[in-house]
Structure 1
């Protein structure tokens, strides 16, 4: 296995709108991030991933970009960005940008030209189709609900938008569009950014038949994903991006790829494929989905979580690379989802951290995860901001007859806004995030859960994350060791080993709030062992076979 800096890195995702507000307008900004770099350096992370900071009308919180080479006014200026980049580099850290090139905003100058007439030179920068039998060109459903087609009266045609109506899909079949994107990417890399997280990058290539999708579960619209997920030219496009842009720089690339399998991910991330370094897959985060997708919010089983993560660990072993994450801007808070955000919040947050960071891959920490920030339960839909949440509430309550109580329960558990409440810095007003009125309400538990309090407590979740990051820098086995699952059918304990040459790690994690006993393969007891980290006190030397306490984790180094 070849060794490289991005495998050894730990990435911290900043959602700028909710991180730190420096000027009191209620919206986080670039100078706010600058103010908190010492905090991030203290935590020990190497790479900062910024969710989009480009000019945007904010229909989908910045993932609808109207100018790829300008900074959103609310976030600051290009000078502010350059100062932040310089300060990050001076601390020995790196910045990766969000690259959103499956779609743009409908307020981008390309789209304004494209829709102005059928013979405009930029008409084919987007995907336009005539209607069929007085309706949309096909039956595809948008990811954000409703039809995936927007009608344009001026030219009497429809444009494809797999997300919001204000996010028209770019037409990657057009080489002139691709040239514009490569030029923009090169401009950012020449400015000094250290790589890209690529938004829904496996959506770029559409099957040119634009056939109808299958209609499931009494839905009005069809599932178009077989025609745009990992489409016919996706590897060609990614290899072209690599050849034309990325190969000239020592950067990190990660592709967000819904619906990808380990076999496909090997093709996207294999060393000699010249595409990407790693992918974000969603299989483990889709647990508990049902007929209404994540809003079904069904029960999940630990054996399923283990099976999925194990499949990805072994599937990419030696040819490809995993990204490791529990949280991001699209996911609810992990301590509320897979842990216990009440009595065992601290224990379960630490256990989840150890479970993830000891796997093979590059770990990603989402802002506030290192504090054990939790989901929020706003009382009214008026307090939610996320377009996906608002559209889904409207559809499921008003069109599918869900009760408001059922939907609010699902929103409290699964809304993307759970991740987007402001970062909790201290116990002052608005958690120290802003002196103004925050763009979205602060989680009311900030007096108890905040960075200042965590920093001053050596037993806090923050210091546990800091220790995990330090261990990663000290022990190559944490980065490069081979994974093997133990106790696959146990519904309480997630146990696995990592092996590198003649050393091993043993990782034991209890996902339940009761004690859990276990037995291990005899050969593990023949090693001499040291406990690397755990979230409970341990007496004595060697591997303890005492039952695991509620949400306990133990990590042993065996030689």
Structure 2
């Protein structure tokens, strides 16, 4: 990185930044430790902002840093309007936002409204059975014959109901018992949570990613979920039943519309929803159309690239179906990895991780890049003694552990990869002395240099940031498509196979010139009639 790399960029056009931009997800425990305790923090993120400008992203999404007992590492919130001392303070948060904005970077927060911590004052009052917050959580008597009110299962295994001796009733928790679900049918809960949004918006936040947004409303009658007859004991227990009544209820869309309304009080802010549902249901979370446009989430997260088989024809058909299913006025988005699912390089291997990066950054819509994917970090073996993920500890042997995708960012070849001056909370990759920002940033053939080149080219080409998407004919392991904005045309061809492939260039295309190869060695090469893609190679062509 040079001095010029840290200079401020021109702010995005109002009303357009999240359409043109690239979001970069930061898991704060693992990005940069500034105080030597082995855990990342907000000051660490602030010190690395120049790297993000150099890389070429437009916004950072920061996973939870609120006060929490850390049963689920911050997704169990005990104060929605504060910062846990592990991560810093409100002052360090304000400094992060200010410095990010000076550099032209937007800041998106992780909002966790479905459940709080069991230690939140709201829950403590609710469990007493007295006072105005009695109905702020989901309490029920047991079944007539004893036991939990219904058959709902926690996402981390076991019953989703825990009996509370103090109140003499069961409370519902879609995740850990230490994460009781709030009752979003209560208008007071909605109002309180909307005030939480306003608290952070007034501090300059540019948007929110809403955790498990499809869970917020449950079936009012609490009907049993139907059995999943395809389930086997080798699968997580949550899959024993189809989650028909415990999530994705019609009334949730009014809740989301209320959140959207709060953001619109503050101008050009972004609402993202985490949704693991079939694509036909995901697109419903854009909301109902009105004279002001769609009224749901701006971006219901599209996780198809995380879940789909890495097969060219499958991906091509999936992209076409998604594009065709989007409501009028909706803007697409794409995600390759996140803090809950194995990294892309762990799923498809290091060579295809380069191809995947080209796919992510050239599809139509807003991409989200997960920290460390620009280094091609693969699966990190976590010794049993160092497992931290509560899901892995509750359901061992099923491969559900999320620690491998949460390991520390690798900055240089110094002690602890430049992440900390002490032992990090999770292990580094075995090859961290070679796989780090300092080494890869100086290597023009590295995956980091490739990702940076893709981001720079995307920024310079309106065909990539806003252009239409059209699938092109191809066969075998190839996926080909065009991005076009008026006369500007960019062609992308990806070889998802381990053997060389010939791509017959459609006759309606002019002579093509390679601008980027995932192998970083073919820029400027011209093609007419056909083009040969080597194994595990992606090519981007200028066809203007």
TM-score of the superposed pair, with normalisation by structure 2: 0.90
How many residues matched?
Answer: 519
Tell me if 1:265 matches 2:276. no
Who is 2:11 aligned against?
Answer: none
What secondary structure, in the 3-state scheme, does the structure 1 residue paired with 2:433 have? coil
- In the alignment, the residues of structure 1 paired with residue 64 and residue 470 of structure 2 have an alpha-carbon distance, to the nearest angstrom, of 37
Out of 118, 122, 135, which is 1:124 matched to? 135
- In the alignment, the residues of structure 1 paired with residue 278 and residue 203 of structure 2 have an alpha-carbon distance, to the nearest angstrom, of 32
Could you give the per-residue CA deviations for residues 302-347 of structure 1, whole angstroms, max 9, x where no partner exists? 4333322332233227531222210111121101212x23xx3xxx
1:266, 1:319 within 8 Å by CA — same for their partners in 2?
A: no
- In the alignment, the residues of structure 2 paired with residue 558 and residue 3 of structure 1 have an alpha-carbon distance, to the nearest angstrom, of 29
2:478, 2:493 within 8 Å by CA — same for their partners in 1?
A: yes
**Cα distance, 1:476–1:183 mapped onto 2, change above 3 Å:** same
Alignment of 1:194-273 (within 5 A): 194-216=206-228, 217=231, 223=241, 225-262=243-280, 264-265=282-283, 268=286, 272-273=293-294
**Cα distance, 1:319–1:223 mapped onto 2, change above 3 Å:** farther
1:259, 1:283 within 8 Å by CA — same for their partners in 2?
A: no
Who is 1:316 aligned against?
Answer: 326
- In the alignment, the residues of structure 1 paired with residue 296 and residue 531 of structure 2 have an alpha-carbon distance, to the nearest angstrom, of 47
1:260, 1:281 within 8 Å by CA — same for their partners in 2?
A: no
Who is 1:292 aligned against?
Answer: none
Tell me if 1:359 matches 2:360. no
- In the alignment, the residues of structure 2 paired with residue 377 and residue 86 of structure 1 have an alpha-carbon distance, to the nearest angstrom, of 37
1:262, 1:316 within 8 Å by CA — same for their partners in 2?
A: no
The CA deviation at 1:390 is 2.2
- In the alignment, the residues of structure 1 paired with residue 402 and residue 412 of structure 2 have an alpha-carbon distance, to the nearest angstrom, of 23
What secondary structure, in the 3-state scheme, does the structure 2 residue paired with 1:305 have? helix
**Cα distance, 1:44–1:543 mapped onto 2, change above 3 Å:** farther
More helix by percentage: 1
Could you give the per-residue CA deviations for residues 400-423 of structure 1, whole angstroms, max 9, x where no partner exists? xxxxxxx5xxx3xx6422211111
The CA deviation at 1:218 is 5.7
The CA deviation at 1:373 is 1.3
What secondary structure, in the 3-state scheme, does the structure 1 residue paired with 2:514 have? strand
Alignment of 1:438-517 (within 5 A): 438-487=424-473, 490=475, 492-517=477-502
Could you give the per-residue CA deviations for residues 225-262 of structure 1, whole angstroms, max 9, x where no partner exists? 21133212111111122224434331122111111524
- In the alignment, the residues of structure 2 paired with residue 135 and residue 143 of structure 1 have an alpha-carbon distance, to the nearest angstrom, of 19
2:305, 2:334 within 8 Å by CA — same for their partners in 1?
A: no
- In the alignment, the residues of structure 2 paired with residue 385 and residue 474 of structure 1 have an alpha-carbon distance, to the nearest angstrom, of 42
**Cα distance, 1:165–1:511 mapped onto 2, change above 3 Å:** same
Who is 1:404 aligned against?
Answer: none
Out of 147, 150, 171, which is 1:135 matched to? 147
- In the alignment, the residues of structure 1 paired with residue 213 and residue 260 of structure 2 have an alpha-carbon distance, to the nearest angstrom, of 13
- In the alignment, the residues of structure 2 paired with residue 358 and residue 284 of structure 1 have an alpha-carbon distance, to the nearest angstrom, of 13
Q: CA RMSD, aligned part only?
A: 2.2
Most deviating of 432-441 and 264-273? 264-273
Who is 2:381 aligned against?
Answer: 377
- In the alignment, the residues of structure 1 paired with residue 460 and residue 304 of structure 2 have an alpha-carbon distance, to the nearest angstrom, of 31
Most deviating of 219-228 and 159-168? 219-228
Who is 1:106 aligned against?
Answer: 118
- In the alignment, the residues of structure 2 paired with residue 286 and residue 142 of structure 1 have an alpha-carbon distance, to the nearest angstrom, of 21
2:516, 2:540 within 8 Å by CA — same for their partners in 1?
A: yes
TM-score of the superposed pair, with normalisation by structure 1: 0.88
Most deviating of 8-17 and 213-222? 213-222
**Structure 1: tracts of 5 or more residues without a match:** 289-299, 398-406
- In the alignment, the residues of structure 1 paired with residue 459 and residue 254 of structure 2 have an alpha-carbon distance, to the nearest angstrom, of 36
Who is 2:515 aligned against?
Answer: 532
What secondary structure, in the 3-state scheme, does the structure 2 residue paired with 1:452 have? helix
- In the alignment, the residues of structure 2 paired with residue 59 and residue 543 of structure 1 have an alpha-carbon distance, to the nearest angstrom, of 58
1:8, 1:472 within 8 Å by CA — same for their partners in 2?
A: no
Who is 1:29 aligned against?
Answer: 41
2:256, 2:296 within 8 Å by CA — same for their partners in 1?
A: yes
- In the alignment, the residues of structure 2 paired with residue 506 and residue 164 of structure 1 have an alpha-carbon distance, to the nearest angstrom, of 47
